[in-house]
Amino acid sequence: MSQPFRLTQGGRIERDAPLQFTFDGRPIHAFRGDTVASALLANGVTLVGRSFKYHRPRGMVSAGAEDPNAFVQLGHGPRTLPNRLATVTAAASGLEVRHVNAWPSLDFDLMSAFGLAAPFIPAGFYYKTLMWPRRLWPLYEHFLRHAAGLGHAPNAPDPDRYDQVHAHCDVLVVGAGAAGLAAARAAEQSGARVIVADEQAEFGGGLLSTTERVDGLPAPQWADAATSELSSAPEVTALPNTTAFGLYESNLVLLAERLHTDQPDNAGSESGARVWRVLPKQIVLATGAHERPLLFANNDRPGVMLAGAISTYLNRYAVAPGSRAVLFTNNDAAYLTALDLADAGVPVAAIADVRSDPEGDLPAQARTRGIPIHAGAVVVQAHGRGRVAAAELCALDGAPLGTVECDLLGVSGGFAPALHLHAQAGAPMTWNPQIAAFAPRPSHDIHPAGAVTGQLDLASALRQGTSAGAAAAAAAGCSNGHTPAAPRAAETHTSDLEPYWLPPGDLARAKPQFVDLHEDVTLDDLRLSLREGFQSIEHVKRYTTLGMGPDQGKLANPLATGVIAQLLGRDPASVGTPRHRPAYSPVSLGAIAGRHIGPLADPVRVTPMQEWHQSAGARFENVGQWRRAWYYPHPGESMHEAVARECLAVRHRVGILDYSTLGKIEVTGPDAGEFLDRVYTNAWKRLRPGRCRYGLMLGEDGMIFDDGVTARLDAQRYLMFTSTSNAAPVLAWLEQWLQTEWTDLRVYLTSVSEHWSNIALAGPRSRDVLAAAGTDIPLAQKDFPFMTFREGHVAGVPARAFRISFSGELSYEINVPADRALHVWEALFDAGRPFGITPYGTETMHVLRAEKGFIIVGQETDGSVTPDDVGLGRLLSRRKDFLGKRSLSRPDSVRPDRKQLVGLLTDDPARVLPEGGHVVDTPGRRRPLPMRGHVTSSYFSPVLGRSIALAMVAGGRAALGERLYVATLHDDRWLPARSCHPVFYDPEGARQHV
């Protein structure tokens, strides 16, 4: 038989739907309805992984999301998923499951030698020991990374797409166990729009693994009926396979839904995963409780399992996780498991109960069934290496009670409410001494119900769920007068739990006793932390890594609170619990990112001429989000050769540039001139319509923010050009002043960047080209001089032509509507052929402007540069105020040793200085070497036949001609250069005025 631990009957698995998957390559037989964990147990696989630090053998501890051990890797290649829990992953045909932390194999793990060294590598070991010698840290790190396993990252980008859903509802019910189902039903019956989510594949939670009855039906049957009722209700969205993993301000709840989990193609992949962003008016938290483990030596051995998990495997999955059991408890819950085991034919050899006189219905039934009960007794050690073989019992006074053989050791230290979501939102919680755990305090919009409140019995869960659902609906404004009745279950008489944290006396010194199984944090580690003064629970967490695993310490933290309290002799309420943070369980990054990846996260912007550039062989560069033609190499040409050819074409003939990316803002209204006067450093009101002017915009700190040409279109209308990358920031900046400060100004701003394409013709023959392309605009110098603009037609298309120049040549920038821009571009290009027209890209544009000493905001400037620093002090109006003006007279703004824009000419005209290179007076090996400045732009100038550079040099303007040196990275050399005036070509500016 391939499933030796499968029970012959019972459970919710579909025995007529067998399936097969692999674990470390070995075939595992399962049925539909199994999880990977239940199938492994049915096949007799109890070892699922090795622990994080000591590589100790580990098995399933739970049957749910709280498991610290059952992390596995699913699938392979780009779709592989690390850190999935076998306990919540549905078994699917063809699924590939692998262990995550053992080498070379799970059964024979060389690194388990760490376990032998455990006494020598306590918490903090790495930080204390591996710091020396420092230069060996990379070696240590390499080794540690290999040894500490959390699975493998995918080996290629995720090929899948993930959706996100934005949803609103009146009531969100988190958890669809007894309380959640009752709450969802009550809210729906009150007329509320409801979303109900549960992390498991089926709704029902604990109802699916109990033998109790609800409204006269077996609990699983009642759960099925309630689920189908909810699924068919029009205003209910029922989401199984969906984990609520984060609760944020404004009650935003994030849900991770796993889709198509049963389809082989999706086996092990989250290609169907989607994240829901839900904004509910009210929340019912029916998240249940996690059973608490107990401390004893070797409490991490495979076969040590939470008692409730044993019941779940028996009743829900028809799997016996062992063949002979011992139970260890401090409350009634384990007795239910004892009865379940007995019903399944698994002998219970002993129950060790911390309490001296366990009374109540369940212990009584166990006694009747002849199960040996040791009252006032504890388990102090598990024997066995790869798996539990026996449990050693002791009386509370330390007197030995013998050793009982078993391969299954069920533990129950009580239940801790799963208040993670509640606590993430910073909502208050209180210590409930009855359950020795923290429980959430209800708030006006969060209603806890069921086991999360600390009330563990079924009847209470159904009652609380019903009233929480109705209350939430009413608080959300939904009330139709209907008072839903709570489903009924038998009231059980339970007796109180007795808190139990540390083994008695010296037995608390036995080693090792694990508090956090995932992080391998032992009782000794906690002692060490407290001894060294790290006593706050947050400090303990950071010192020992308690609760820092992907399981988020769901089992460890509630245990640690009690243990630390006892070690310190303090009240657990004052010890507290580490801050809970999202995500509750691991969520794949792809699902969180959703569609916000690639071009949808960072759009690619192109101009109408993009395809032309491509077919002309252009290379492109990214300028912000824009893809801009960088240069147009001929076949066989290097970038350097192509740029030189383009530069010389502009200087001697004519070039054509796609400059559509420039920001364009229309500034209209009666006060437009006044507005420009306030935001620009120079004067605008008296600029005549038809004329253009270069303007500088400063921040209030006096530093250059943007520059560009603005034209006055008519009396109340200006067109402002901004730099490409600043188009949006400038608009936002201007809007903020208009809307928040100068609300009296009648000015309107409209971004027209996308509306107008901009084609620049530059070079001595550009006038001839424009004329040849056909225009009704008079082009003679006297009719259309430099720094003016004219409206008319170009190539039959309405156009605005601006005689402005970023190259220092005769130049026209022609604005045409974007949808006609390609036509105009092609017409100009055709008309220019006889004149040798050459398309040029951004690299040539940069070289040409550098030859002229024109700055580029963000290249020469960096947010710490004033107009005077770059030699533009003449643009500062003395007659009016403008933004930033007052800052220009601050002492720091007028220091004579501020960095100033200068040109640099290398002694060797063939050497091009590195941009960003440090400028010094005297090279040398002194450290620190006093720095005079840095190179901001550097190119080979084809027209000058030598290299040129712009630099910001302290006090540079007063010392033009001085000897300076520039550091180079490549050959560790200093390049000698002399500073000069930053305009290298045509310093009189004659060429642009022709």
Partner 1 sequence: MLLIPCPWCGPREDDEFTFGGEADIPRPADPAALTDEQWADYLFMRDNRRGHHREQWCHTAGCRRWFIVERDTVTNEILGASIYGDSP
From the CB of 741, what's the least distance to partner 1, in Å? 5
- Under 8 Å between Cβ of 278 and 195: yes
Closest by CA to 814, choosing from 760, 857, 771, 774, is: 760
From the CB of 162, what's the least distance to partner 1, in Å? 18
User: Residue 231 or residue 736: which is nearer to partner 1 going by CB?
Assistant: 736
From the CB of 195, what's the least distance to partner 1, in Å? 17
- Under 8 Å between Cβ of 915 and 936: yes
Helix (H, G, I), strand (E, B) or coil at 900: strand
User: Residue 164 or residue 263: which is nearer to partner 1 going by CB?
Assistant: 164
- Under 8 Å between Cβ of 767 and 779: yes
Order of strands across the sheet with 400-405? Answer: 377-383, 390-395, 400-405
Give long-range contacts, CB 8 A cutoff, 24+ apart: 794-803.
794/770, 794/824, 794/827, 794/828, 795/823, 795/824, 795/827, 795/828, 795/831, 796/827, 797/823, 797/824, 799/775, 799/824, 800/711, 800/719, 800/756, 801/770, 801/775, 801/777, 802/692, 802/709, 802/711, 803/692
From the CB of 591, what's the least distance to partner 1, in Å? 17
User: Residue 107 or residue 735: which is nearer to partner 1 going by CB?
Assistant: 735
User: Residue 211 or residue 887: which is nearer to partner 1 going by CB?
Assistant: 887
From the CB of 740, what's the least distance to partner 1, in Å? 5
From the CB of 706, what's the least distance to partner 1, in Å? 18
State the Cα–Cα distance between residues 594 and 600, nearest whole angstrom.
10
Strand-pair partners of 587: none
User: Residue 701 or residue 830: which is nearer to partner 1 going by CB?
Assistant: 701
> From the CA atom positions of the chain, what is the Rg in Å?
38
What is the per-residue DSSP string for 808-822? SSSEEEEEEEGGGHH
Q: φ, ψ for residue 244 (rounded to 5)?
A: -80, 110
CA of residue 68 relative to chain centroid, distance? 23
User: Residue 245 or residue 659: which is nearer to partner 1 going by CB?
Assistant: 245
From the CB of 677, what's the least distance to partner 1, in Å? 15
User: Residue 281 or residue 991: which is nearer to partner 1 going by CB?
Assistant: 281
Cα torsion angle, 230, 203, 29, 1, sign: negative
DSSP type of residue 89: S
From the CB of 753, what's the least distance to partner 1, in Å? 15
Helix (H, G, I), strand (E, B) or coil at 635: coil
User: Residue 735 or residue 907: which is nearer to partner 1 going by CB?
Assistant: 735
- Under 8 Å between Cβ of 799 and 784: no
User: Residue 678 or residue 800: which is nearer to partner 1 going by CB?
Assistant: 678
Helix-helix angle 842-851:639-652, to 10 degrees: 60
User: Which residue intervals of 670-808 are DSSP H helices?
Assistant: 672-679, 727-740, 766-773
User: Residue 491 or residue 735: which is nearer to partner 1 going by CB?
Assistant: 735
User: Residue 615 or residue 743: which is nearer to partner 1 going by CB?
Assistant: 743
What is the per-residue DSSP string for 605-617? B--TTHHHHHHTT
- Under 8 Å between Cβ of 279 and 252: yes
Give exposure, 391-421, as e/b (b: 16+ Cβ within 10 Å). Answer: bbbbebeeeebeebebbbbbbbbbbbbbbbb
Q: What is the 3-state secondary structure (H, E, C) of 927-980?
A: CCCCCCEEEEEEEEECCCCEEEEEEEEECCHHHCCCEEEEECCCCCCEEEEEEE
State the Cα–Cα distance between residues 312 and 308, nearest whole angstrom.
6
User: Residue 495 or residue 751: which is nearer to partner 1 going by CB?
Assistant: 751
From the CB of 701, what's the least distance to partner 1, in Å? 6
User: Residue 741 or residue 908: which is nearer to partner 1 going by CB?
Assistant: 741
Helix-helix angle 307-315:333-343, to 10 degrees: 30
The kind and range of the H/E element at 573 are helix 572-575
Phi-psi region of 547 (alpha: psi -120 to 50; beta: other; left: phi over 0): left
User: Residue 888 or residue 935: which is nearer to partner 1 going by CB?
Assistant: 888
Contacts of 789 (CB under 8 A, 6+ apart): 690, 691, 692, 711, 800, 801, 802, 803
From the CB of 406, what's the least distance to partner 1, in Å? 50
State the Cα–Cα distance between residues 622 and 634, nearest whole angstrom.
21
From the CB of 99, what's the least distance to partner 1, in Å? 38
User: Residue 571 or residue 700: which is nearer to partner 1 going by CB?
Assistant: 700
User: Residue 581 or residue 890: which is nearer to partner 1 going by CB?
Assistant: 890
User: Residue 128 or residue 168: which is nearer to partner 1 going by CB?
Assistant: 168
User: Which residue intervals of 369-450 are DSSP H helices?
Assistant: 420-424
Cα torsion angle, 148, 149, 155, 158, sign: negative
**Contacting residues toward partner 1, per CB under 8 A:** 248-250, 252, 279, 700-701, 732, 735-736, 739-741, 743, 881, 885-887, 890-891
What is the per-residue DSSP string for 306-372? EHHHHHHHHHTT-B-S-SSEEEEESSSHHHHHHHHHHHTT--EEEEEESSSS--SHHHHHHHHTT--
State the Cα–Cα distance between residues 151 and 947, nearest whole angstrom.
53
User: Residue 14 or residue 892: which is nearer to partner 1 going by CB?
Assistant: 892
Beta strands in 825-865 (DSSP E): 838-839
